Amino acid sequence: MEFGVGISTCREGLFYPVGFTSVEGLVKVAVKSEELGYAAVWGNDHITTQNYIKQKGGKPNFYEPLVVFSHLSALTKKIVVGTAVVIGPIRNPVVLAKQAITLDHLSKGRFVLGVGLGAYREEFEAINMKGNRGQMLDEFMECLTLLFNQTPASFQGKYYSFTDIEMLPRPLTSPFPLYVGGNSPEVLRRVGVYGTGWLPAALTPDQAREGLRKIREYAKLRGRQSIGFKVALEAGCYVSKDESEARRRFVGSPFFQHLVSLKRSTLKDLPSTSEEELFKRNFVGTPDVVISKIQEFEDAGVDQVWFDFIADDDEELLRQMEFFAGEVMPSFR
């Protein structure tokens, strides 16, 4: 089992308080993650403030993840940098493929491209995009697959088209690490048909196990049995020697409220947004409790769990990272 850290490229106002994120903080967390033995840092993607944040008067700062990772890859040596996720339907696949291959070279093979639909349709509409986002994402994934694996590459679809694109230099990493984010049945199909990895969030071990089984079924139908799919699970985390403190910090966090907001979109599989249901799907409690839960996911086939550590500022985030690294990670080495 590997472990990762979610960095606040676009998590301010969503997972963390407004004012949380700075360039200095992003660097500090990434460098410290590598020092502590984490395998990866993951950054997300947003263009504009979500409506529910606007209604509260929040004005969060969002940093473009690919640019951030270009900077971070120059300041680190071993840790993987990954997008979780880039919003596919609001980007150009040819430009994104060029950016991803460039980052693959700059990082010496340490970049993972995670792509998704986007949790908030309002963001898609805010930049006057039109069309069926699911169909767009399918075409988008097909485009990326062609661009990563063929040169020249051509594609003619309903939403995207290009002719004889020579994508040079070619990727260092083959197959290119292309992950798909989300929990829906359509996500599982896209992973099996196009991807090399899956980026789910807030799952149970049984859901992780069943999702991986379905991904392999789709891959077999596509003739991709040889792909060794990776599963990198995102979850919230607060670890403390005091169980009640851990639960109190989790329920009082912006992250908890964010999960409640996603009940209407990407986390529709949640039977409820009760405290107990969300405790069940995240990593909250004493080191022993968290270790036991991680073991269940490892047994289900999850390769990495990466965490949005509950924190109000960089210093609390770093303390949580250090406490987890000291109290939990040794059990999985």
pLDDT tens digits for 255-289? 998 888 776 555 666 666 678 889 999 999 999 99
**What distance lies between CA 321 and its chain's CA centroid?**
18
Helix, strand, coil percent content, the chain, rounded in steps of 5: 45, 20, 35
DSSP 112-128: EEEEE--S-HHHHHHTT
Q: How confident is the model at residue 126 (pLDDT cuts 50, 70, 90)?
A: confident
CA distance 122 to 136: 16
DSSP state of 239: E
| Contact assessment for residue 91 and residue 130, using Cβ atoms and an 8 Å cutoff | no
Q: What is the pLDDT of residue 261?
A: 74
pLDDT in tens, 150-190: 999 999 999 999 999 999 999 999 999 999 999 999 999 99
Q: What is the pTM of this model?
A: 0.95
Residue (of 125, 123, 44) closest to 86 by Cα position? 44
Mean pLDDT, the chain, integer: 94
CATH architecture group of domain 2-332: Alpha-Beta Barrel (3.20)
